[in-house]
Amino acid sequence: MEPRPETETNTSAKGLMLRAASASSLTLGLFAALTVGLITLTWVFTKARIDDQIRQAEIRALEEILPRADIDGSALYDNDLLKTRISIPVNKQLGSRTTAEGYAAFKGDTPVAVILPVVAPKGYSGAIHMLVGIKADGTLSGVRVTNHKETPGLGDAIEIIKSNWITVFSGKSLDNPQQKGWGVRKDGGEFDQFTGATITPRAVVLAVHNSLQYFEQNRDQLFQQGLKQLKQTRGDAHGQPDA
Amino acid sequence: MASPTPEAREITLNGLWNNNPALVQLLGLCPLLGVSNSVVNALGLGLATILVLAGSNLVVSLIRHQVNDAIRLPVFVMVIAALTTCVELLMQAFTYELYQILGIFIPLIVTNCSILGRADAFASKHPPGAAVLDGLMMGAGFALVLVVLGALRESIGQGTLFANMHLLFGPVAKSWSVVLVQDYKQFLFAILPPGAFFFMGLLIAVKNIVDNRISEAKKATQDKPSTGSKRVRVTGTVS
C-alpha cells in the first residue's frame, strides 16, 4: 500500500478512537453523577427516620438495661433518662472515637446509675456498639448491644433476641469476678464463648470490663454532670413538688 | 436485541426452575450459604435481593440503547451498587430490626454475581417489562432456594422452624415458631458454613433427579426429546 493513505487512515482512526473514548468517559461520568445523586436523595429522605429509628431502639434498650422498677417494686429512679444526658468525651477505655452521649439516673438528687455508650472495637466484623448500665455502687445493671455487624447465626448471639448470653453481666462488678475472671473461658475467664465464635464475646467482655474501670475513675464527674443537667431540666417545673 | 424476547411463561420457568440462579447457575453462593441458617434470615435477604434484582434489571433495560459495549459493565455495577445502597438505607429507615439482623449481608448484595449476570445476559437485550419479570423470577428462584436451605438447616441444626419470624412480620409472627424436637442438642454441622455446602449439594442432586425423571417421562411419550431440556443451555449462558 502507498504510505500516504495509510497515515491518513491512521490519524482518522486515532481521531475516531479519541472521540469514542471521550464519549464513553462522558457517559460513565454522567452515570456516576446520576447514581451518586440517587443515593444522596435517598439518604436525605431517610436520614431523619434512620436517626429516629436508632434513637427509638436506644430508648427501648435503656429501660431494659436499667429497669425502672427496683426488686421490691418501688421506683429505682424517677428522672427522665432521655432528658438527663451526659456528654462523654472521646475515651480509649470506652472505645469511642467521637464525643458520645450517656444517661444518668437519679432518685431525687441521689445518684442511682449511669448508662454509658461503649464501643467494642475488636469485633469479628468491626465495631460493636453497646450500652452499659452501671449502678452507683459499681455493679452492672445490664448490657445491651445496639449496633453490630457480626456473623449472623454465630456472633450475633450477643443480641438479646438471639440468646440471653448478654444478661450474664447483670450484677457483675470489678470485684465479681476478679480481674482474672474477666475473659471468655477459652482465655481462662468465666464468661462463655459461643460455639463457632470466640472473637465476638471476647470483644464484648473486654469492652464491658474497660467501661467498669472507666466508671470507677470518673464516677463523681459523671454524676456531677448528670445532676447539673437534671437541675436544668427541672428549672422550668420549679414550683411543682419534686417527686 | 438479536434474540427474540421470550414469553412470560418461559421467563418464569427459567427463573424458578430451569435456569435457577442458585441451583443451575451456581451464582451468588456467598450470601446464599452465609445467611441460610434460619428461615427468617433467608427470607429477609431473599426479599432484599428480589428488590435489587428487579430494580437493576429495569434500569439496565431502560438504558440499554444509551450505553455502549466498552463501558456497559462499569455502568451496570454503578447502577446495582446505587440500588443496593438505597435498599440498605430504606431498610434501615423502615425495617430497622430486620436490617440489624441481616447486617453485613445487605451491602453484600452488590457482589451477588447473579444480579450483574442477569443485567448483562438478559436486561441489556430485552425491553423493560420482560426484564423486570426476569428480575422478579430470578430473584424468586434465588429466594426460594435460600428459604428451603434455611428451613433444612434450621430444623436439623437447631430443632426449630420459623423462629424469630416477628423480626420480619412484626409481633403477630411471634407464635409462628415451631419447636420440632424438645431439648434438641444443636447439630452444629448444619449451622456452620460446611453444612450449607452439604445441603446445597443435596438440593442440586434432588433437582437433577427430578429433571432426569421429567426428561425420561417425555422420552417415553414422544419419539424425539422435546426442546425443553435444550432451552436450559440456550438461555443459561452468562457472559
Contact present, B18 and B103 (Cβ < 8 Å): no
Q: Which of A47, A65, A83 is the last residue of a domain?
A: A65
Question: Within 13 A of B153's CA, how many CA atoms are on the CB side?
Answer: 34
**Domain termination residue (choose one: A18, A33, A65):** A65
**What secondary structure does DSSP assign to chain A, as a single string?**
--HHHHHHHHHHHHHHHHHHHHHHHHHHHHHHHHHHHHHHHHHHHHHHHHHHHHHHHHHHHHHHHS-SB-TTSSBS--S-GGGSEEEE---TTTT-SS-EEEEEEEETTEEEEEEEEEEEEEETTEEEEEEEEEETTS-EEEEEEEE--PPTTTGGGGSTTT-SGGGGGTT-BTTBS-GGGSSBGGGT-SB--BTTBSHHHHHHHHHHHHHHHHHHHHHHHHHHHHHHHHHHHHGGGTTS---
One domain for residues A101 and A74: yes
A110, part of any domain? yes
Indicate if A85 and A176 belong to the same structural domain.
Answer: yes
The answer on A114 and A76 residing in a single domain is yes
Instruction: Tell me the three cell numbers of residue A123.
Output: 469485633
Residue A243 domain-assigned?
A: no
Q: What is the pLDDT along chain B (239 residues), one digit of tens a residue?
A: 446 778 888 888 888 888 888 888 777 787 788 788 788 888 888 988 999 999 999 999 998 888 888 888 899 999 999 999 999 998 888 888 778 777 778 888 888 888 888 888 888 889 999 999 999 999 999 999 999 999 998 888 878 888 777 777 767 777 777 787 777 767 777 877 888 889 999 999 999 999 899 888 888 887 555 555 444 444 445 54
B85 and A42: CB-CB below 8 Å? yes
A150-200 tens-digit pLDDT:
877 778 889 887 788 999 999 999 988 888 899 998 888 889 888 778 999
Tell if the CB–CB gap between B103 and A31 is shorter than 8 Å. no
Q: For residue B19, give the DSSP letter.
A: T
Provide the domain limits for residue A122.
70-237
Per-residue confidence (pLDDT) for residue B222, from 0 to 100: 73
B70/A contact by beta carbon, under 8 A: yes
Q: A153 CB near a chain B CB, below 8 Å?
A: yes
Interface of A with B in 29-48 (CB under 8 A): 31-32, 35-36, 38-39, 42-43, 46
Note whether A28 contacts B: Cβ–Cβ < 8 A: yes
